[in-house]
Amino acid sequence: MGFPFSLPVSLQSMVSQVLMDEALFERVVDRLAHQLLEHHDFNHSDLIGLQLRGYWFAQVLQRRLHELLPDVDINCGGLDVTFHRDDFRRREKPLSPSSTHMDFLVENRHVILVDDVLFTGRTIRAGMDALLAHGRPKSVQLLVLVDRRFQRELPIEPQYVGKTIDSIDCEYVQVTQEEGSDQCRVMLLNEKPE
């Protein structure tokens, strides 16, 4: 099955490998949804995505879980971690915040933090800090689409993983989704796109 969107010419020479095409992404979402259901009934569990792509991915999972549990309302929120990052003052250009979409509290609930790529662990740490503004959860687990396992700078490990890869520092994992759809591709690039 092909992609409904084409790769920009500027990225074609940077692609080292397609890690996940549309069909594999669909299977990964299905597997992760079933793994979540092994441990959560979602009466006391919430999905919280880290902006931007983590929130999009959490919404994809929420829709798949709703297909499997049509009678259960599953909370899904999005956290902006911009000002909780430990490097936001060290950048040449200021970070532009996205927005937080949380219309519920996580007090005494089980939270599944969702992000697209786990690299150093610093975004996840910032997400845990940002989460505390919305209550004290009973537990926090981590779900990521891609785990770059040998690049960790903080002792953070996911409980649910779509795909684990070994990559070198100069490589970059890019998650590209089609606007307004659940279709996605994941690529390993030789360099970070500008």
Q: Where are the chain's structural domains?
A: 21-189
Q: If one looks up domain 21-189 in CATH, what number appears?
A: 3.40.50.2020
pLDDT of residue 2: 45
Model pTM score: 0.86
Task: Output the six-digit token pair for 87.
Answer: 């490097």
Residue 54 clears pLDDT 80, i.e. is over it: yes
pLDDT band at 178 (very low <50, low <70, confident <90, very high): confident
Q: Which residues, 6+ apart, have CB-to-CB distance to 188 below 8 Å? A: 15, 16, 17, 18, 19, 165, 167, 171, 172, 173, 174
Phi, psi of 131 (to 5 degrees): -60, -35
How far apart, in whole angstroms, are the C-alpha atoms of residue 142 and residue 118?
10
